[in-house]
Amino acid sequence: MAMHTSFLTHAKGRYLWIAVLVAILSSLAFIFDEPTEPPNGGTPLGYTLGTIGAIMILWLAYLGRRKRNFVKGWGTTVGWVSAHVYLGCALLVIATLHTGFQFGWNIHTLAYVLMVCVILSGIFGVVAYRTYPGARNELKKTKSLDDIFLQVEEVDAQLLRMASDAPEDIRNILNSAIERTVVGGGFLDQVRARDNSVVELNGRVESNKQQQRALDYLLGRARELQGDQLKLLHDIIRIFNTRKRLLSIIRDDIRMHAVTSVWLLFHIPITFALIASLIAHVFAVFVYW
């Protein structure tokens, strides 16, 4: 038995089976139901599915509270997440059957669309949670992000030390490339792993994406220098290349980290919008029907 069990395989997939069962039962009920009017939310089965769906939405949303119940709380968080994921998927079936496939430009369909958005963003989250942590670990070769930042700092210091013996232009470009390297940035920059680094070259500020501009310059200079100076430059290029690789790892890691949290920024606010529209939907049904 492995020690760690993910939320997908938690309790041998207990909630997967429950969710499948719920989906099959509601589908069977829908197929064999013979309402007097065309299937819709107002038939007895429609009301039943609607009530179950509404309760499920509130229960699913309650995870946000439950996972912060650190002191007390029934069951484990991973169990709740497992149930949340699978029953959330089952909700798609239940709610769709509840609509009786009747859609329109109204508050009712708005609630449905919002719910679908929440579920889809949730599915994206599940995929991100199951793929990115492993990919990040693989990328960093079991080091922590802090370790890699430290490595970059060490490489920077080493480059600057070496630069003190190099010709002035090389010293300047190394200084400038190091000083004006940018990682992270705004949220969009993080998600897209955009590289805003620049370098000052002959008085002009140029983009130094992937440190390429500076590297090109150094490679260009390698054709001109000779002897000890060339040897030193080769060493500098080698180390500069290591730095480039480390920075790219950092950016990729930040990107994946940002993506693993970005979906929640959709998932949660739309959930609130869903709950609001759900209240409006229920209110509309009972007051104006």
Alpha-carbon distance of 2 to 29, in angstroms, equals: 39
SS3 at position 200 = strand
Alpha-carbon distance of 221 to 83, in angstroms, equals: 61
Which range touches other proteins (CB under 8 A), out of 2-10, 16-24, 178-186, 244-252? 2-10
* Least distance from other proteins to the Cβ atom of residue 29, Å: 32
* Least distance from other proteins to the Cβ atom of residue 224, Å: 32
Alpha helices in 62-196 (DSSP H): 63-66, 77-99, 107-140, 145-163, 168-179, 187-191
In 3-state terms, the chain is what percent helix, strand and coil (to 5)?
Answer: 75, 5, 25
Residue 2 lies near other proteins (rule: CB under 8 A): yes
Nearer to other proteins, 35 or 133 (CB): 133
- In the numeric block, which tokens belong to residue 120? 């889809």
Residue 134 lies near other proteins (rule: CB under 8 A): yes
Residue with tokens 């149930």: 83
Alpha-carbon distance of 202 to 218, in angstroms, equals: 14
Residue 207 lies near other proteins (rule: CB under 8 A): no
* Least distance from other proteins to the Cβ atom of residue 105, Å: 31
Q: For other proteins, which residue of 17, 21, 24, 73 counts as binding (CB under 8 A)? A: 73
Residue 67 lies near other proteins (rule: CB under 8 A): yes
- In the numeric block, which tokens belong to residue 6? 């993910």
Size of the site for other proteins (CB under 8 A): 35
Span 245-274, contacts to other proteins by CB under 8 A: 257, 260
Nearer to other proteins, 70 or 101 (CB): 70
The dihedral built from the CA positions of residue 45, 51, 55 and 56, taken in this order, carries a sign that is positive
Which range touches other proteins (CB under 8 A), out of 46-54, 88-96, 128-136, 225-233? 128-136
Span 95-124, contacts to other proteins by CB under 8 A: none
Q: For other proteins, which residue of 34, 37, 146, 168 counts as binding (CB under 8 A)? A: 146
Q: What per-residue string of b and e applies to 21-47 under the rule 16 or more CB within 10 Å gives b?
A: ebbeebeeebeebeeeeebbbebebbe
Interacting residues with other proteins (CB under 8 A): 1-7, 10, 64-65, 67-68, 70-73, 76-78, 80-81, 129, 132-134, 136-137, 142-144, 146, 154, 157, 257, 260
